[in-house]
Chain A
Amino acid sequence: MSFLTLDGLGKAYGEFNAVESISLSIERGEFVSLLGPSGCGKTTTLQMVAGFVEPTRGRILLNGADITRERPEKRGMGIVFQSYALFPHMTVGNNVGFGLDMRNVTRGERAARVAEVLDMVRLTGLDKRYPRELSGGQRQRVAIARALAIRPQVLLLDEPMSNLDAKLREDMHVELRAIQKKLGITTILVTHDQVEAMTMSDRIAVMHGGRIVQTGSPFDAYEKPESVFASGFLGKTNALRGIVEQMNDRCAVVRVGASVMKVPHGGRRFEGDVQLYVRPERVALIDSSSMDATLQGRVTTCLFLGNHWMLQIDTPLGTVRASLPNLGTTPPQEGDTVGVHWSEDAVRILAETAHG
């Protein structure tokens, strides 16, 4: 029995289904991300778990108890909102202590727990400040501390990093993940940022059109996307359209334009139209005369991004993107003719119809 179970959870607003049906089992201490574009229903799902939105279908089970109709103040969940939703008229200390006041915690314990969580988010000494006197990053820490102070059974994070600048966001990913692991707190993160989902989660649930289209570890979700949508949403990818000519023991033989490629099918059956996906980082550039070259092409753009180069290569099959690590040498320049190569196992095959 998992700790938190969403069982066929759905929400309809009149005719419009914001969330179709979400089923997800989360273990105690697990960090799960709901990842998807805006409008995919991820925030509505979180709001249903928090109790702010009443589901039209399905159940929510927490530790075996049905909490589907429980009021939010009874659920004991810590929530970090996108806007932080701090109490502007209260000091940091009172913001963090608010949940404890509602629980009639003794004065001594309140002080101790406020100090403890402020220390955890490294805000010690700022408890007399008002939210407006803090920076964006500090406000976010207050919001996290406030949610943690009540020692919630579940921590819900609603796009908590989207108002931070990139550098701060990366630091917060690491820090928040460390806190979550230390406390062993069951956490659901809602985000549209795939990097955020991948760096922090134990498991990612990719959402699209009010459904979960794939769940898995960040590595599996990235390496083995099960749908065209998941493949395009998680990271960058090169998509090639082809037709299956033959299924071997291990590989599908796919005709793509004028070339024929062998792709490992992993035991699944394919026929007719398929899509092939190759991640830019699995694309290698070699001498154009080499026999190993899968394709021939001409470099159209070459962008330097610090730790890697991003190249676009014009090939007979369309534009192929390649991401080359910066090893201190200059890659082929714009206008150069190159050979494009990828190994067979770099290619992911999906049926054309596997949308959603």
Chain B
Amino acid sequence: MADSSSPPVAAPSAPRSTAERASAAPWLLAGPALLLFCGLLLVPLLLTAVLSFHAFDGTQGVLPTFTLSNYVEVLSDGYYHEIFLRTAGMALAVTVLCVVLGVPETIILARMKSPWRSIFLIVILGPLLISVVVRTLGWAILLGNNGLLNDALQALGIVSEPVKLVFTMTGVIIGLTHVLVPFMVIAVWATLQKLDLQVENAARSLGAQPFAVFRRVVLPQLLPGVLSGSIIVFALAASAFATPALLGGRRLKVAATAAYDEFLNTLNWPLGATIAVLLLIANIAIILGCNRWIERRFRAVFEG
């Protein structure tokens, strides 16, 4: 009986078509977006995955044979280990910096009075409206050997020679942190909005000093937001391309730029595809792992 789930009181002929239409509606509505998603994301991703199992020959190009040699190469070569470790280190450093900068930033923002709050929120989120490439080039100008920062440091007599920031990991991390901090702010902001301000008053009435209120009452409640923000920032940092490419340069490779170089310089597409697939797998594994952990850790407290 196909109709067994529909309520027995309804007329026997009518509910079937309405039920069918009702169940079809979400699919029809989601259809266009779903098609776009499949066409522009899933299919290329699948083709990339397939490509990563093809062989490559310097003279003949991509060979349509199945091989695991690309994976063996990436997973066994110290050169690629270094790239992946560098990527992970960079993403981690950016995430930590985003937490350190973004969380206080959001709390200060939330305490601001009416007109200033919206103004500063726009100031913080505004950079998202500007192309990453443009922003990164801006950082290159600021951080360059003859850039504003080094000129200022030298003029103030803090350093005698320019501090090398462009084409260093420090420069990349600074640039990426700037690009990604708004995502942390948004995530923490969302959690902060749900906080009952009276809870802080309650803690104070029970004898907690302002710092104790923050550490024992406010921060633990913000933690889910901080963690979800961290996941977003980590994932975006690990797969970032433009900033490491422009501020890090050709030598300081991370996974995304390494994949790009294999594709466009060495023309070893299968190897580039392999790096891309491995980056994706690592990213998904880390995100799902963190997500699972957060859910288990905080379910009892925050759901419902």
Contact = CB atoms under 8 A, between A and B. Distances in A.
Given A130-B300, A132-B301, A132-B304, A85 B206 contact: no
A86 interface: yes
Interface stretch (A76-84, A227-235, A273-281, A321-329): A76-84
Contact of B202 (A71, A79, A103, A130): A79
A71 B207 CA distance: 10
A79 B221 contact: no
Interface centre among A73, A79, A83, A147 (most CB of B within 10 A): A73
A98 interface: yes
Interface in A55-107: 71-73, 75-79, 81-83, 85-89, 98-99, 102-103
Interface string B175-218: 00000000000000000000010110111111111001000110
B202 A85 contact: yes
A76 B196 contact: no
A171 B209 CA distance: 35
Contact of A87 (B199, B209, B212, B302): B199
Nearest to A52: B201
Interface in A328-352: none
Contacts of A265: none
Nearest to A75: B205
A150 B206 CA distance: 7
Contacts of B221: 88-89
A79 B303 contact: no
Interface residues of B, number: 22
A211 interface: no
Contacts of A6: none
B4 to A, nearest CB: 35
A98 B207 CA distance: 9
A77 B205 contact: yes
A50 interface: yes
A85 B201 contact: yes
A290 B304 CA distance: 64
Nearest to A103: B207
B61 interface: no
A79 B206 CA distance: 8
A72 B220 contact: no
Interface in A139-190: 146-147, 150
A99 B199 contact: no
A158 to B, nearest CB: 9
A132 B196 contact: no
Contact of B208 (A51, A102, A132): A102
Contact of A81 (B201, B212, B220, B304): B201
Interface size class on chain A is: 20 to 34
B203 A89 contact: no
B198 A85 contact: yes
Contacts of B202: 79, 81, 85-87, 146
B212 to A, nearest CB: 7
A102 B207 contact: yes
Contacts of A146: 202, 206
Contacts of A89: 220-221, 301-302
A83 B208 contact: no
Contacts of A102: 206-208, 212
B198 A81 contact: yes
Contact of B209 (A73, A76, A86, A132): A73
A75 B204 CA distance: 10
A355 B167 CA distance: 78
From A76, A82, A89, A99, residue with most partner B Cβ within 10 Å: A89
A82 B199 CA distance: 11
A43 to B, nearest CB: 11
Contacts of A51: 204-205
A88 B57 CA distance: 61
B217 A79 contact: no
Interface in A219-249: none
A215 to B, nearest CB: 25
A73 B207 contact: yes
B226 to A, nearest CB: 13
B204 A72 contact: yes
A71 B301 CA distance: 30
A50 B205 contact: yes
B207 A76 contact: yes
Contact of B204 (A73, A88, A132): A73
Given A85-B198, A85-B202, A132-B304, A98 B220 contact: no
Contacts of A83: 196, 198
B205 A73 contact: yes
Contacts of A82: 198
Interface in B111-155: none
Interface string B206-242: 1111001000110011000000000000000000000
Nearest to B202: A85
Contacts of A150: 206-207
| Top-6 shortest CB links A-B | A99-B206, A102-B207, A85-B198, A85-B202, A72-B204, A89-B220
6 contacts: A72-B201, A72-B204, A79-B202, A85-B199, A87-B217, A132-B302
Given A102-B212, A103-B207, 13 more contacts: A51-B205, A71-B204, A73-B206, A75-B205, A77-B205, A83-B196, A85-B202, A86-B199, A88-B301, A89-B302, A99-B206, A102-B207, A132-B304
